[in-house]
Amino acid sequence: MKPAQIGLVVRGHGRHYVVEDENGERVHCLTRGKKSDCVVGDRVRWQRSSDHEGVIDKLEPRRNLLFRQDEWKTKSFAANLDRLLVLVAAEPQFSESQLTRALIAADSAGITTDILLNKTDLPQAEAARQRLAPYKAMGQRVLELSLKGRPDEARETLMPLLENQATLVLGPSGTGKSTLINLLVPDAGAQVGEISQALNSGRHTTTTTQWYWLDDRRETALLDSPGFQEFGLRQIPAPELASHMADFKPFLGECRFHNCSHRHEPGCAVLTAVEAGKISPSRYRIYDELWQELSSPPRY
């Protein structure tokens, strides 16, 4: 074994990982033992076992961690992020529930979030703007771009925003996420191929999180995670849910009861705000659904 060094996890599948060393070389690594908690974005202490393979010894402390959720389980999938970029589009219609989940997950992890409305050249764009109006009203930044129609403008808008940060790109199928990756990452295909080669198998590279460098200095990164549908929120206790919703925050602490759930109690400042039109009904409906979900036992 060669001396231990610190590396960056840029891809993972089971116990198989691709770790990038300080010179940018990517090496296939295994973890010791059967269980692994590493995710893309992690810094790990590892050793080379040969010229082309290594062993991960230890996970370094994380700044933050995000989770994905399906019907059966919640699982961590990305760490040490600076920004979340949520793509929505004029067409297809986006899910407000998924959008809210993303914003809550990022807020709880201390990650800045921007919403990008794509395909603004389509006639459905105005309807999408109206659905995003409550988010802009609560201080959420919403960028409007046409990634295919005006690619130069999109690049000029996004690159300064993403500079010197690790940004996770989230977007359902059809919103333009692949277009965004190809627009900002000149050698995206080459980077995927390099990781496939390091893993020595293409079967590990289809549904897991992918790390892309946007610059030669390896200071600006995009992460694409095509395999998950929703953020997992099980790490957040139901009573803390409202504190991660920007439009609820101004009214917290104003309720009659200090442990108010904001669902049925008399003298609730949040319910009063909903009645007064200061919190949108759709946002409150999502809050109520999430409260019930987080208050019930997991299905797995």
Is 201 part of any known ligand binding site? Answer: no
Per-residue model confidence (pLDDT) at position 1: 65
Q: What is the CATH number of the domain that holds 78?
A: 3.40.50.300
Residue 267 lies in a domain: yes
Is 172 part of any known ligand binding site? Answer: yes
Is 262 part of any known ligand binding site? Answer: yes
Per-residue model confidence (pLDDT) at position 72: 47
Residue 41 lies in a domain: yes
For 70, the domain range is: 65-230
Q: Are residues 54 and 71 in the same domain?
A: no
Q: Are residues 143 and 198 in the same domain?
A: yes
Per-residue model confidence (pLDDT) at position 195: 57
Of residues 272 and 227, more confidence is placed in 272
Residue where a domain terminates, one of 176, 207, 230:
230
Residue where a domain terminates, one of 185, 203, 230:
230
Please tell me the pTM assigned to this model: 0.89
Per-residue model confidence (pLDDT) at position 247: 97
Is 173 part of any known ligand binding site? Answer: yes
Q: What is the mean pLDDT of residues 29-46?
A: 89
Residue where a domain terminates, one of 36, 59, 82:
59
Residue 300 lies in a domain: no
Q: Are residues 49 and 106 in the same domain?
A: no
Q: Give the number of domains in the chain.
A: 3
Q: Are residues 163 and 208 in the same domain?
A: yes
Q: Are residues 96 and 208 in the same domain?
A: yes
Residue 299 has pLDDT above 80, yes or no: no
Is 34 part of any known ligand binding site? Answer: no
Q: Are residues 39 and 173 in the same domain?
A: no
Is 268 part of any known ligand binding site? Answer: yes
Q: 240-263: per-residue pLDDT in tens?
A: 999 999 999 999 999 999 999 999
Is 57 part of any known ligand binding site? Answer: no
Is 120 part of any known ligand binding site? Answer: yes
Of residues 199 and 136, more confidence is placed in 136
Q: Residue 187's pLDDT band (boundaries 50, 70, 90)? A: confident
Q: Are residues 217 and 86 in the same domain?
A: yes
Residue 100 lies in a domain: yes
Q: Are residues 53 and 76 in the same domain?
A: no
Residue 203 has pLDDT above 50, yes or no: no
Q: What is the mean pLDDT of residues 195-200?
A: 59
Q: Are residues 124 and 76 in the same domain?
A: yes
Q: Are residues 94 and 46 in the same domain?
A: no
Q: Residue 229's pLDDT band (boundaries 50, 70, 90)? A: low
User: What is the average pLDDT score of the chain?
Assistant: 88
Q: Are residues 199 and 246 in the same domain?
A: no
Q: 89-148: per-residue pLDDT in tens?
A: 999 899 999 999 999 999 999 999 999 999 999 999 999 999 999 999 999 999 999 999
Q: Residue 231's pLDDT band (boundaries 50, 70, 90)? A: confident
Is 75 part of any known ligand binding site? Answer: no
Is 121 part of any known ligand binding site? Answer: yes
Per-residue model confidence (pLDDT) at position 5: 94
Of residues 207 and 124, more confidence is placed in 124
DSSP secondary structure string for all residues of the chain = -PPPEEEEEEEEETTEEEEE-TTS-EEEEEESSS-----BT-EEEEEESSSSEEEEEEEPPPS-EEEEE-SS-EEEEEES-SEEEEEEESSSPPPHHHHHHHHHHHHHHT-EEEEEEE-TTSTTHHHHHHHHHHHHHTT--EEE--TTTSHHHHHHHHHHHHTTSEEEEE--TTSSHHHHHHHH-TTHHHHHHHHHHHHT-GGGSSSS-EEEESSTTS--EEEE-TT-SEE--TTS-GGGGGGG-TTTGGGTT-SSSTT--SSS-TT-HHHHHHHTTSS-HHHHHHHHHHHHHHHSPP--
Is 175 part of any known ligand binding site? Answer: yes
Per-residue model confidence (pLDDT) at position 73: 56
Q: What is the CATH number of the domain that holds 263?
A: 1.10.40.50
Q: Residue 29's pLDDT band (boundaries 50, 70, 90)? A: very high
Q: Are residues 69 and 14 in the same domain?
A: no
Of residues 291 and 70, more confidence is placed in 291
